[in-house]
Structure 1
Amino acid sequence: METKSHEQLHIFFFPYMIQGHFIPLINMAKLFASRGVKSTLITTPLNAPLFSKAIQSSKKLGFDIDILVIKFPTEEVGLPQGCENANLATTREMNEKFIKATFLLQPQIEQILDEHRPHCLVADVFFPWATDVAAKFGIPRIMFHGISFFALCASLSVALYEPHAKLSSDSEVFTIPNFPVEIKLTRSQMPTFPKQSSEFTKLFKEAMESEEKSYGFIVNSFYELEPAFADHYRTVFGRKAWHIGPVSSVSKAADDEASLDQHECLNWLNSKKPNSVVYICFGSTTNFIDSQLLEIAAGLEASGQEFIWVVKREKNDKEEWLPEGFEKRMEGKGVIIRGWAPQVPILEHQAIGAFVTHCGWNSILEGVSAGVPMITWPVSADQFYNEKLVTEVLKTGVVVGVKQWGTVLDVKKEASVKREAIEKAVNQVMVSEEADGMRGRARALREMATRAVEEGGSSFSDLTSLIQELGSPGA
C-alpha cells in the first residue's frame, strides 16, 4: 500500500470512553488492520484491558494493531480516581466534569500525534477539538458519530430548521423538514438538555462546528440498509462519508467461538424451535426502575412467549422488580440473565424470533445482521430516529409506544410502558398476521448485510476507496 513516503498507511482511532462508542471503533480498527493498515487505538488505563482483550484474536492473525494509553484527567476536574468511563459518571454533575475532562485530553493527543505522525486520525464526534489538532500536523481528521445515515440526516435537518421550536406543546406533531421520506415526531421525543448544562451545550455546539471542518465521516452502516439517507447526506448536505459496516462482522470472522465458553443460554436455545424465543436487552447504559421491570415481567408472562431477558440487577433474596414466584413459573419457558450476555451469538441463534431493544445503533445493526424483527423501546440519544427507521422505513418491527425522550440520568418515578402494551407488541411480532412479512423483510436485510462486507460488496468497496484516498498524496 503506497502512501506519501511509500511507508505503510498508519491510522489512529480515538473512541469516546463509553462502551457503545468504543466497541464499533475497536472493530473498525480491526477492519482496517485486516486490510493491511497499521491501526493504533488510543484509550485510558481503566479501559485498556478491555481493548487488549478485544484485539487479541486480530493480533494472533498477524494484523498490525496496537494500543496507546493516555492519562485521563480525573483529579483535575474533581472526579473520583478511576472514573474513566462515561457509564461511571452517575450524576449530572459528574457527567459535566467528565465532559470537561475530555477537553483536557488535547495536549496528550497533540504530543502523540507529534511523536508518531500517523496519516489520519479517526476521532469520536465527542472530541470536537480533534479536527484542529489533526490540522496542526497536516493530517485529515475523520469523524465517527456512531449513528446511522438516517439519524445523521434527521438530526442535521432538525438542528438547521428547528421545526420543534414553534410548537405549542410537547405532544404536538411535526414533520422532519428537507428529508427523503415523511417522518413525524413530537417535541417530547427530541433530545433535551437542561439550560444550566453548560458543558453539554458547549460540547454539542463545538461538535457541530468541527463537523463542518473535518475531512469526512465514517459510518457503521451499509448502503442497501438506508440508500436514500446515505445519498441525501452526501449530496444534499454535501458531506463526505464512507459506509463500511456492519463492522461487527470483523469480530465474527476473527474471534474464536470457543472463547464464549458456550454460555448456558445458548445451550438452552438449542432446545427451542426456530423463531420461538423473544430476546430482551436494553444496552449497557439503560437502567430501568423496579416498577418498569415489573411491568416487563408481567407483559412477558401474559404474552405466553418464551424469552431470554438481560437485566442489570444483582441476584438477591428479595427482588422487588419481579412478580412473586415469577422465576419458578417461568422455568423452562424463560431465562433471566443478570449482567452481561453474548448478544451477537444469541441474536444469530435460529430460535430467536424477536428482539426487544432500546434502539441503540449498535444493537439495531446487530439485529439487522441477524435477520431478527424488533420491538422498539427508545430511551435517549438517537434512538427515537432509529425506531422510525426500523418501524416505518424498513418495516421490520413494531413500537412498544414510548413517547418521552430522557437521558440515562433522568430518574423516573413510575413505569412509562405498561404490561398490556408489552404483551401486545411481543405477540404482534411473534404470532400476528403481519409477523411473517416482518420476518421475511428482516431476513432479506440479513442477506444484504452479509453481502455488503464481502469482497465487491458496498461496504467492502467504500473501505477500499477510503484506504486508497488516505494513501494517496494530498489526502
Structure 2
Amino acid sequence: MENDKKLHIAMFPWLAFGHIIPYLELAKLIAQKGHFISFISTPNNIDRLPKLPSNIAPLIKFVKLTLPNNYQDKLPPNAEATSDVPKDIVPYLKHSYDGLQKQLSEFLEDSNPDWIIYDFTPYWLPPITAKLSISTAFFCILFTSILCILGPSATAMITGDDPRNKPEDFTVPPKWVPFPTNQAYRLYQAKHIFNDHFGVNPSGVSDMFRAGSIISGCDLIVLRTCLELQMESKWVELTGKLHQKPVVPIGLLPPSLSISEHDDDNHMDKGDDTWLNIRNWLDKQKNGSIVYVAFGSEVTLGHEDLTELALGLEESGLPFFWALKKPKLVESLELPIGFEKRTKDRGLVWTGWVPQYKILGHKSVGVFLTHCGWGSTIEALHFGHALVMLPFLIDQGLVARYLEEIKVGIEIPRNEEDGRFTRNEVSESLRLVLLTEEGKTYKDNANEISKIFGDKELHQRYIDDFVEHLQNHKRAK
C-alpha cells in the first residue's frame, strides 16, 4: 500500500470540449486529493478553459502541444477543436491530432508520470507508454453500455471480426449481452454510426479501430457512472468481461463536486455579463415553466431539423430559452423567418456560450429539451429535470432509451429510416411532459433520481476509491 505517496498523472483528452471538460473535472477532483496533474492539450483549447479554483491551481499544470495543420486547405487557421470545424472536417482534425505523437512522447519521457489517462483517439499511444512503463487508463466519457454494444475491443473493434455487418444488426441487443435490455440503436442511428465510425476516414483509420486499440492497450477502463443506477452494475461487469480489463466506475462527476469550499461560488457572477443577462430574463419567468433547449458543443442541426424544432417550440406555446450554437463556416443555417419576432414575448434565443449548469439550476426551468449527451444528462438530472430527448451522436440514442425505460423523459418520435421529425411531434412531446398528468410522472421520477445524481458524498467516495486504485496499481518503474 502506498496511500501516502503523491502521484503525477498526465491527462490527454480528445480535441472536443465535450471530452475536455469532463477530463478537467476529473483532474480537479484528483488534484483536491493532493496529486499533481499534467493536463495536455493544444494552446487554443487550454486558453478557453475556465479558471482553476485557487486551492488546486498549483497542482494542475497545463501542457500546450502545438497542433500541426496537415490540411491547410481543409482546416481553418487556429482550428483546434471539433467546435471550430464542420462535422465532415473532423477526420482531418483527428489526423492532425495524430501529429502530436512526437511531442507527447518527448513530454512523457522527460516528465515520467505515474499514470496517463487518455481518450479513445490516440491509438498509437499504448506502445509508447508500455516502453516507458507508464500506467494507462482509458477514461470513457460516454454512456457505459456503448462499450458493450459496440463489441469486444480485440475482435469487433480492431479487426472488424463481428457478425453484425449492416446497420439493421445494431437495432437489437448483441448476443453477448446476457440480460434483458432495450439498449440498441434505432435504424437511422445505426446508419449514422456505420457511416461515421466504422469505415476508414481521411485520418487513415476508423474510429472503431482507434477505440479498440486504446482499450486493448490500457491497464484500466474508467467509467463515468455509479453502480446505484438501475442496471449499471451489470453493464460495468460486462464491460470488464468483454474487454478483459479491470473496470473502475468514478461516479457521475456532478459539477457541484468540484466546487471547492475555499472558493466563493458567487465570485463567478461578478462581471459575468452573460450570466447576469440570462438570469435577469429567467427571473421574470414563472417557476418550472421554461423549456431549456440545448444540444451541446458537438451537435450541429441541419436546416430541416432546425426549422422543425423552431416551429415546434412556437407551436407549443410554451416559454423557452434556447442555447443555439451557431456552427462555424456554415453561413446558410438560419431560423425560420419571423420566428424570433413572433416568440419574443415568451422565448429567448441565445447564440453565444451559456453557463448551462447555472441555467439548469434556476427555478424557472421546467423541462430540458436535450440531445442526451451524457454530461448534459447528468447536469439535468442533478437538478431533477424531466427530459424531452432528441439524440443525434454515437451514445445519445442509448442514453435516451435508458432514460425512457426508467421514465424520466420521452424521446421525440422520429422516422426510423432517416430520423426526421415534425414540428407537431416536438410541440406535443413538450406539452406532454410540462403540462399533463402523465408528464408529472416523468417529473416525479426525475426528482427522485436526482437523489443519486446530486449525492456529493456518494460521488466523492467513488473518486476516493479511484485515486486509491491509482496509487496501488501503478506499474513498477
Instruction: Give the TM-score normalised by structure 2.
Output: 0.85
Partner of 1:244: 250
Structure 2 counterpart of 1:398, one-letter code = I
Rounded Cα–Cα distance in structure 2 between residues aligned with 1:419 and 1:474: 53
Bigger mean CA deviation after superposition, 219-228 or 425-434: 219-228
Partner of 1:379: 392
Partner of 1:279: 292
Rounded Cα–Cα distance in structure 2 between residues aligned with 1:352 and 1:368: 12
Structure 1 counterpart of 2:392, one-letter code = V
Which of 414, 419, 426 is equivalent to 2:423? 419
Matches within 5 A, 1:354-369: 354-369=367-382
Q: Report SS of the residue matched to 1:156.
A: coil
Q: Report SS of the residue matched to 1:335.
A: strand
Rounded Cα–Cα distance in structure 1 between residues aligned with 2:338 and 2:71: 49
Q: Report deviation, 1:277.
A: 0.9
Partner of 1:341: 354
Structure 2 counterpart of 1:460, one-letter code = Q
Percent identity reads: 25
Partner of 1:389: 402
Q: Report deviation, 1:74.
A: 1.2
Which of 123, 132, 138 is equivalent to 2:133? 138
Residue 90 (1) aligns with residue 86 (2) = yes
Q: Report deviation, 1:435.
A: 1.3
Q: Report deviation, 1:24.
A: 0.5
CA deviation string 1:240-259 (max 9, x = no partner): 22222332234444573332
Partner of 1:47: 45
| Contact 1:374/1:396 (<8 A) preserved | yes
Q: Report deviation, 1:77.
A: 7.7
CA deviation string 1:74-114 (max 9, x = no partner): 1488644422223333363x433322222221221111111
Structure 2 counterpart of 1:118, one-letter code = P
Partner of 1:182: 181
Q: Report SS of the residue matched to 2:397.
A: helix
Taking a change above 3 Å as real, the CA distance of residues 274 and 204 of structure 1, as seen in their structure-2 partners, is same
Bigger mean CA deviation after superposition, 237-246 or 36-45: 237-246
Partner of 1:192: 194
Taking a change above 3 Å as real, the CA distance of residues 296 and 96 of structure 1, as seen in their structure-2 partners, is closer
Partner of 1:70: 65
Partner of 2:109: 114
CA deviation string 1:342-377 (max 9, x = no partner): 111111222211111111121111112121111111
Structure 2 counterpart of 1:294, one-letter code = T
Residue 24 (1) aligns with residue 22 (2) = yes
Matches within 5 A, 1:124-273: 124-156=119-151, 159=156, 162=162, 164-165=164-165, 173-179=171-177, 180-183=179-182, 184-190=184-190, 191-193=193-195, 195=199, 197=201, 199=203, 201-225=205-229, 226-234=232-240, 238-247=244-253, 248-253=255-260, 256-260=265-269, 261=272, 262-273=275-286
Structure 2 stretches lacking a partner, 5+ long: none
Rounded Cα–Cα distance in structure 1 between residues aligned with 2:322 and 2:174: 34
Partner of 1:471: 471
Residue 351 (1) aligns with residue 347 (2) = no
Taking a change above 3 Å as real, the CA distance of residues 113 and 174 of structure 1, as seen in their structure-2 partners, is same
Rounded Cα–Cα distance in structure 2 between residues aligned with 1:82 and 1:244: 34
Q: Report deviation, 1:36.
A: 1.3
Bigger mean CA deviation after superposition, 247-256 or 103-112: 247-256
Partner of 1:438: 442
Rounded Cα–Cα distance in structure 2 between residues aligned with 1:174 and 1:472: 40
Q: Report deviation, 1:200.
A: 6.3
Q: Report deviation, 1:8.
A: 2.1
| Contact 1:244/1:462 (<8 A) preserved | yes
CA deviation string 1:419-451 (max 9, x = no partner): 111011101211122212111111122111222
CA deviation string 1:137-172 (max 9, x = no partner): 1121100221021222222379489575367xx599
Bigger mean CA deviation after superposition, 254-263 or 418-427: 254-263
Partner of 1:103: 98
| Contact 1:124/1:144 (<8 A) preserved | yes
Rounded Cα–Cα distance in structure 2 between residues aligned with 1:80 and 1:324: 30
Structure 2 counterpart of 1:390, one-letter code = L
Q: Report deviation, 1:287.
A: 2.1
Rounded Cα–Cα distance in structure 1 between residues aligned with 2:259 and 2:439: 28
Structure 2 counterpart of 1:259, one-letter code = M
Rounded Cα–Cα distance in structure 1 between residues aligned with 2:268 and 2:305: 34
| Contact 1:157/1:177 (<8 A) preserved | no
Q: Report deviation, 1:404.
A: 6.4
